[in-house]
A and B are shown apart, each in its own frame.
Chain A
Amino acid sequence: MIFDLLEAFNENSLVLYLFVIGIACAAGGIPPMIERNRRRGIENQLPGLLESLSDAVGAGRGLQEAMLEQGRNTPGILGKLLTETLESSHASSFDAALSAFASKTRSSQVQRVVVLIDTAMEQDAPLQNILSDLAMDYERLNDLMNKRETELAGRGILIILFVCIGLPVLIAFIVGLFAPAASGFQIANFNSTFSTFFALASATGALVSGRMMGRARDMLWWIPLWMSTSMLLYLGAVKMIGG
């Protein structure tokens, strides 16, 4: 059945190539999504951790001791990474352990915070105030990032639904109804031109949707799949309706 279905699109080899490339690329698109979720999870926990550290330092504890304690108390991946790194750094210095922790999180927010803490320690700066300021700064930043993501995610999905699915099906319906191939209309060239247009329009739509949410690079992996989907939908619907 699958081969019969693929046979139906033999005249449009581009769609078949794109479909195969699309499936392969989709597999490449999953790891960035997982990584992003992990990173955002860490970044959303960061202000809470900084605030607790500020309180602990204010109560007279050393930063290392406070970090180890807060790491144990913080649920999720941030606490786990912090505890793991500090506990495993028996022979190395605290600075080295902090740097290792920052690079393990793979988050630019955490790395910036660690650099600042490191510099503040070197300069004997008031850590309590710095940690509290950083907590507030990053809380506001994460709130904004989350707001942008939640408000624009719906619109991004709408663009993909409209441009990659709605548009090809709508035009296929019109073409299939008014110029059916079964009635002798010569629409092979016409279909080829329009399916290419839908593929390019889908690529544009998917890229715009990704850019809106600030993840255009991650979206690049999904573009071939959306291009082939819109082509398949158009060509399939024209065949189904117009014969």
Chain B
Amino acid sequence: MKIPVILNQKKIVLEAEPSEKLLVVLRREKLYSVKCGCGKGLCGDCTVLLDGHPVPSCTIPVGMVRDCKIITLEFFQTFPIYSDIISGFAQAGIHLCGYCNAGKIFTAYEVLSTYYRPDREQLYSAINMFDCCCTDRDTLANGILYAVAAKHTREGRHKNVKK
């Protein structure tokens, strides 16, 4: 079956069975930032941005993503907000293990793009959505808060303040 999608901002047609997992199809496209973890949507290793929101690609049949926008970590690295997240993580002492990077980074992205200044509850409800294999929740929360600060610095902290 031919499934048209916008993958990393390029219009392409995926050749796959509609019931195949998006994870499998993306790895076949040699997008290896999408890792195979639990296969149950718990661990976050296979996270991608689907129409701007992080989703576990292991629980999504590829037939459901027709005409959707998919962004993987390979392409996300070109976004300025990626640098904010990485610098925030570094400040918090988070070392990326390589296997659950997508889960951590896209979770941070979701928080950063949803809330201007996330509170503790918002932060932890986003973090609790996945089971990170290498970083504890408090450290990850700190990393996201540092990333928020880095984003504000880059965008200009007072850009919305009326003169």
Q: Do A and B come from one complex?
A: no
Give the interface of B toward A (CB within 8 A).
none
